[in-house]
Structure 1
Amino acid sequence: MSEILKYISRTWNIKKLVAILSMFILFLTSGFPLFAQQQRFPKPEFESGYTQPVTSMPEARSDFFAIFDVLVLIVALSLISWLILKKRSRRGVLAVSVFSILYFGFFREGCICSVGSLQNVTLALFQPEYSIPISALAFFVIPLVYTLFFGRTFCAGVCPLGAIQDVLLLRPVTMKRWLQKVLGLIPYIYLGLSVLYAATATDFIICRYDPFVGIYRFDATFFMFAIGAIFLLLSIYVARPYCRFFCPYGVLLNWMSRFSKHHLTITPNKCIQCRLCEDSCPLGAINKPVPVKVMEDRQSATKRFISLSLIIPLLMVLGGWTLSNFHENLAKVNPKVRLANELMSFKPDVMLPSVEIEAFKSAGTPLTELYSQAAIIIEQFYIGAWILGAFLGLVFGLTLSSLSVFKYREDYTPDKGECVSCARCLKYCPVEK
C-alpha cells in the first residue's frame, strides 16, 4: 500500500484527481441507473384501481452494488487520508468532499450511511433474529478502523453529511469554549437514545430525523426540509453544526481518534511559535501552548482527583435514577406499547376504533399476549434508562473535569478527538517540510 501511495504522489496532482472523479461520477449517474432499470421486473398491475404508494426508502440494491459501495468507501478513505497526512492538501480534501456529496449524497441518496448503520449494529446485537446486511456492518466498522490509524479523515470529506456542511462554511465565527462543551453533550444524549430505541426494536431515530437525507432524495417533508435548511444556513457561519452538536456516530469517531497513531499535524516540522494558526480552526480544535506556571501543583491536583472520584459516581447514580423515572414515557414510542396503552383506554361505546386497533383485532392476536409483550418492552426500557442515565452522568462529570485540567504543552497541536482533519489550518503554517 505504501508503494502504491508513493507512486500516486509522484504521478498525480489535484487537477488530475478532480478530472478523474468527475468522469467517475458521470459514469455512475448515467450508466448504472440504466443498467439497474433493465434488470427490474415490471411492476404488477391492479384492476381494482389501487395506486402503488411512493416508498420513503430507496429500493434494495444488488450484492454487486453493495460491495461496490464498500469499495468506493475504502478508496475514498485511503485517498483522503493520503491527501491529509502526506500531501497536506486542503484542495484535495475539497475535491473528495464534492465527490462524496455527489456520490454518497445525491446518487446513493444518503444510504448506506455510516451514521445510521450504528442502529443496524445495535439491533443485530440485541435482536438475534435480525440479520444485519454486510454493507451496513462494513460502513460502520471501516471508518472507525481508519480513524484509529489516521484520525477523523472520514469526517473530513467522505461523510456526505459533514462534507456538505464544510463546503458551505464561508464566514466562520468562533464560539465560547464553555458553550461548545455544553452543546457537545447533545450527541451523547442522541447516541444513548438511538441505541436504546434500536436495541428494543422500537425505531431508527437517526434515520427518521436525519436533516440531510430528505434533501439528498428530494422527498423531504416540509418540516424536515426546514430543519435541513436551518442546518445548512448555520453551516455558513458555524462550522459543522450537525457534526459537532448532534451526530451520534461522531462520538465514536471522537473516541477512536484520540488513540490514532498517525494524525493530522498543523506543522510538518517543529513549531516556531508564529501563532498564525492560533485562530485558524473554525471548530476551535487547536490546543494552545500551556506554560508550566499555569499547571496545578501536585497537592491541588490530588485534591481535584479525589473530589472527582466522589462526584462522578454520584452523578452516574443520580442520572440513572432520574432517567429511570421516565422509562414509561420513553417506552411509549414503541408501537406495541403504544397500541397496548391505546387498547387499555379504548371505550367502544363512546370511541371509534383507530386503524391500529382494527388491524390488531383482525389479526386475531390474544390481548393478553400483547400486554405481555408490552410489559417486557417496558422492563427493557427501565433497564436501558438506568444505563443511559448513568452513562450521561459519567459524560457530564468527565466534561466538568476536562474544563479544569491543564496539561503542559509547548506547541500548537490539534485536539485529536475534536479535530475532523479538514486541513483548513495547514495553509496558515509557514513551516515547510
Structure 2
Amino acid sequence: MKKIFSIFSLFVLLIIDFAAFAQTQRFPRPEFESGYTQPVASMPEPRAGIFALVDVLLLIAALSLITWFIHRKRSRTGVVITSLFSIVYFGFLREGCVCSVGSVQNVVLALFNPGYHIPLSALAFFVIPLVYTLFFGRTFCAGVCPLGAVQDVFLLRPVNLKKWLQKVLGLIPWIYLGLAILYAATGTDFIICRYDPFVGIFRFNATFFMFAIGAAFLLISVFIARPYCRFLCPYGVILNLVSRVSKNHLSITPASCIQCKLCENSCPLDAINKPVEVKQMEGKRSATRRFILLGMIIPALMIIGGWVVSNFHENLAMVNSKVRLANELLHFDSNTMKESLEIEGFRTSGKTKEELYLESAAILKQFYYGSWMLGAFIGLVFGLSLAGLTRYKYREDYEPDKGECVSCARCLKYCPVESN
C-alpha cells in the first residue's frame, strides 16, 4: 500500500508541475505599468451564429458520410478521404475548435456554474458524436475527429503493445477525464484545451514546448496506433462506454467468419477479439464467491482512492490562480522578499486580502469534496478493471471489441469473405 501511495503521489505532483510549467510557457507573465487596472475575467464569446451552424452541419455531414463508407461501402479509402477533410477543415481551418474532445469541459462548467451559458455549437459537438456512436460505433473516431485523423495518417509501421501495458496505459484517460471534470467544475481551467498536443500545430502558434509534445505524439504515431486517442483522450473514454452498447457496430465480415485468421494481426489497435474455446461453466458457488469478493473490493478501493486523493486537494487547487495568489500573499514577507508581478497586479485591483482569502477558502473546500469524488471515481475504475479481468466471455468468431474499435476499417481489406 505504501508503494502504491508513493507512486500515486509522484503522479499527482508531476501533473501539477507540468500544469504550472505549461501554463507559464503558453501564457507569459505580463508587465505592469503605472496606472494598470486588472481586467475583469470573462468567458470567451461563442462563434458567430451562421458560422457555428456551418460547423455543426459539416460535422453531421462528415459523420453521415464516414458511417456510410464504413457500414455500407465498407471502404477504407472512404475513411481516409474523410480523415483528410477533417484534418483540413476541423483541424487547420477551424484551428482545432470547436472540438468534441474539449466540449466535455463546456458541458461540465454549464452543469456546475449557472452563470455560464454553454454555446449551442459546443453542446452539439458533444452530443452528436455520442448519438452516432450509440447507433453505429465509434465512427467519429474513425476519421471525423481531427486529432485521431492526423495520428492515423502518420501510422506507417504499426507495432502491437503487450496486453498488460495496454491495460495499464488505458487507465490514464480515466484519470485525465476526472481531473478535467474537477478543474472545469470548479471554474479553474480547461486543461484538455490548454494542453492539447495538436491545437498549437493546427494554429501554427505553438510554443516550442507544446510543439515538441505534439511532434512527439506524431512521431510515436508512426509505430504505435493513435497514442493520444488510446492512452490520453478523455472524450474517447465516454465514446468507449457508449460504443459498447451500439446497435449496429462495424463487423469484420459481411457474412459468416470462416476462421481464416487473416484479420488477426491487421488491427493496429489490438481491438479484435479472438475466438475463445468453450470451457466448463463456472460453478454457482464459485461465481457467488467471486461476486461477493468483488462487491467488497470495489467499495474499498473507492474509499481508499477518495482518501488518498483528498490528501492532495490543496496541491490540486494550486492550479487555480486565486488559490495560488492567496498562498503567495499569505507567505509574503516584504522585508526579505521582492513583490511578484501577480501581487503587484492584485494590489491595483482594489480587492482586500480578506476577500481573496475567503474566495480561496471556498475554492479549497470545493477541491476537497471534488478530490474525494475524483479518488472514488479512480478507485471504481480500478475495481471494474479488475472485475473485467475475471470475466470470461466465450466467442466462436473473430469480433471487433466494440469499446476499443475506432472503426478505422483497416481489417476489412484483409477479409477474403469481404473480397468475394
Q: TM-score range by the shorter chain?
A: 0.7 to 0.9
Task: Check conservation: 1:295, 1:408, Cα contact below 8 A.
Answer: no
**Shift in Å at residue 399 of structure 1?**
0.9
- Listed as ranges, the gaps of 5+ residues in structure 2 are 1-42
d(CA) in 1 for partners of 2:276, 2:50: 53
Instruction: After TM superposition, list the pairs within 5 Å mapping 1:211-250 onto structure 2.
Output: 211-250=197-236
Change in CA separation of 1:78 and 1:294 when aligned onto 2, cut-off 3 Å: farther
Is 1:304 matched up with 2:286?
Answer: no
Task: Check conservation: 2:135, 2:246, Cα contact below 8 A.
Answer: yes
Is 1:65 matched up with 2:51?
Answer: yes
**Shift in Å at residue 259 of structure 1?**
1.0
Is 1:78 matched up with 2:78?
Answer: no
Is 1:116 matched up with 2:102?
Answer: yes
Query: Which secondary structure does the structure 2 equivalent of 1:292 belong to?
Result: coil
Instruction: After TM superposition, list the pairs within 5 Å mapping 1:207-286 onto structure 2.
Output: 207-286=193-272
**Which residue matches 1:411?**
397
> Aligned match of 1:325 in 311, 315, 318?
311
d(CA) in 2 for partners of 1:294, 1:72: 51
Tell me the amino acid that sits aligned with residue 277 of structure 2.
Answer: P
Instruction: After TM superposition, list the pairs within 5 Å mapping 1:51-200 onto structure 2.
Output: 61-200=47-186
Instruction: After TM superposition, list the pairs within 5 Å mapping 1:309-388 onto structure 2.
Output: 309-388=295-374
Tell me the amino acid that sits aligned with residue 337 of structure 2.
Answer: M
**Which residue matches 2:388?**
402
Task: Check conservation: 1:151, 1:264, Cα contact below 8 A.
Answer: yes
- TM-superposition CA deviations, 1:46-78 (whole Å, max 9, x none): xxxxxxxxxxx9996321111100000000000
d(CA) in 1 for partners of 2:263, 2:46: 46
- TM-superposition CA deviations, 1:215-234 (whole Å, max 9, x none): 11111111111111110011
**Shift in Å at residue 298 of structure 1?**
3.8
**Which residue matches 1:41?**
none
**Shift in Å at residue 302 of structure 1?**
2.6
Task: Check conservation: 1:290, 1:406, Cα contact below 8 A.
Answer: no
**Which residue matches 1:48?**
none
Query: Which secondary structure does the structure 2 equivalent of 1:293 belong to?
Result: coil
TM-score by length of 1: 0.85
Tell me the amino acid that sits aligned with residue 196 of structure 1.
Answer: L
Task: Check conservation: 2:46, 2:119, Cα contact below 8 A.
Answer: no
**Shift in Å at residue 364 of structure 1?**
1.2
Query: Which secondary structure does the structure 2 equivalent of 1:328 belong to?
Result: helix
Task: Check conservation: 2:100, 2:126, Cα contact below 8 A.
Answer: yes
d(CA) in 2 for partners of 1:223, 1:60: 28
d(CA) in 2 for partners of 1:321, 1:59: 39
Task: Check conservation: 1:162, 1:240, Cα contact below 8 A.
Answer: yes
**Which residue matches 2:278?**
292
Tell me the amino acid that sits aligned with residue 170 of structure 2.
Answer: G
**Which residue matches 2:409?**
423
Query: Which secondary structure does the structure 2 equivalent of 1:274 belong to?
Result: coil
Change in CA separation of 1:157 and 1:58 when aligned onto 2, cut-off 3 Å: farther
Query: Which secondary structure does the structure 1 equivalent of 2:410 belong to?
Result: coil
Task: Check conservation: 1:294, 1:406, Cα contact below 8 A.
Answer: no
**Shift in Å at residue 371 of structure 1?**
0.7
Tell me the amino acid that sits aligned with residue 380 of structure 1.
Answer: Q
**Shift in Å at residue 352 of structure 1?**
2.2
Task: Check conservation: 1:100, 1:158, Cα contact below 8 A.
Answer: yes
Change in CA separation of 1:192 and 1:294 when aligned onto 2, cut-off 3 Å: farther
d(CA) in 2 for partners of 1:388, 1:364: 35
The count of corresponding residues between Structure 1 and Structure 2 is: 377
d(CA) in 2 for partners of 1:388, 1:103: 35
Query: Which secondary structure does the structure 2 equivalent of 1:431 belong to?
Result: helix
d(CA) in 2 for partners of 1:250, 1:380: 27
Query: Which secondary structure does the structure 1 equivalent of 2:240 belong to?
Result: helix
d(CA) in 1 for partners of 2:214, 2:92: 15
d(CA) in 1 for partners of 2:44, 2:349: 29
Query: Which secondary structure does the structure 2 equivalent of 1:392 belong to?
Result: helix
Query: Which secondary structure does the structure 1 equivalent of 2:165 belong to?
Result: helix
Identity %: 72
Return 297-306 or 246-255, whichever deviates more.
297-306
Change in CA separation of 1:82 and 1:271 when aligned onto 2, cut-off 3 Å: same
d(CA) in 2 for partners of 1:426, 1:326: 48
TM-score by length of 2: 0.87
Query: Which secondary structure does the structure 2 equivalent of 1:173 belong to?
Result: coil
Query: Which secondary structure does the structure 2 equivalent of 1:410 belong to?
Result: coil
